[in-house]
Amino acid sequence: MRKIIITLDGFSSCGKSTLARQLANELNYVFIDSGAMYRAITLYFLRHRIDWNHQAEVVNALKNISLDFQYNADTGKSDMFLNHEDVEVFIREMHVSDNVSAVSAVKEVREFAVAQQQLMGNKKGIVMDGRDIGTTVFPNAELKIFVMADPAIRVERRYKEMFEKNPTISIEEVKNNLESRDYIDSHREVSPLRKADDAIELDNSNLTREEQLEVVLKWANEVISKPH
């Protein structure tokens, strides 16, 4: 059976990562959460007080960053490692979410992350989610999906997720963070979020996780079984 590259792009909190992870499990593919890489870089910059508007500082800092994903048997998911430290929990915190869009808009940061993402796709058999995966990272991917969901539903989903970790969080905070990230992610100069011309749209506002997986799995199997 031939192996392909599947990309899932879309705004924050559309359920891309969950879907991408399930899809990879079903196909026995590798799942890569590209947003986690930008989050880990942001965490490093915050911890080391790197001014990301200062090009030389960014270039130097990136030389000291190594990123990799390692399987966590307790959760059954891969955790993000930054310089050999498991930072999976820290990269999901609000101070990282508040700054990650600004950091990921920096050209040198994108070049650094994209180069590593492209290497991960060398052997195909990969599902990667993000913002520019179908447009910039893998423009020749065999299956590109653009995930969408109603903004109010996205806020509700993210609020529930964040509330479990931090019950003091307000719905307003979550809404403001999502709105500002949407704006920065789609208006930045370097590879802004946009739907690739050949991407299929998936609006999951009214779909359960099982239903959306079924739809996407069908698309994937159609492409995989097509003679090429």
- The contact pattern for ligand DC, residues 128-167, with x = CB under 6 A and - = no contact, is --xxxx----------------------------------
* 101 lies in the binding site for ligand DC (CB under 6 A): yes
Nearest CB to ligand DC, comparing residues 4 and 33:
33
Least distance (Å) between residue 185 CB and ligand DC: 5
* 177 lies in the binding site for ligand DC (CB under 6 A): no
Beta strands at 85-86 and 77-82: parallel, antiparallel or unpaired: antiparallel
Q: Which stretch binds ligand DC (CB under 6 A): 44-52, 53-61, 127-135, 162-170?
A: 127-135
* 21 lies in the binding site for ligand DC (CB under 6 A): no
Nearest CB to ligand DC, comparing residues 55 and 186:
186
Beta strands at 85-86 and 126-130: parallel, antiparallel or unpaired: unpaired
**Cα distance between residue 159 and residue 150, in whole Å:** 14
Residue/partner pairs of 83-90 with CB below 8 Å, 24 or more apart = 83/44, 87/40, 87/43, 88/36, 90/43
Of the residues 6, 185, 204, 212, which one makes contact with ligand DC according to CB under 6 A: 185
* 181 lies in the binding site for ligand DC (CB under 6 A): yes
Chain positions 58 to 77 lying near ligand DC, rule: CB under 6 A, are none
- Which tokens in the block code for residue 105? 């808009």
What's the CA dihedral at 131, 127, 177, 65 to 10 degrees?
-90
Q: Which phi and psi angles does 217 have, rounded to 5°? A: -65, -40
Least distance (Å) between residue 104 CB and ligand DC: 4
**226 with 171: CB under 8 angstroms?**
no
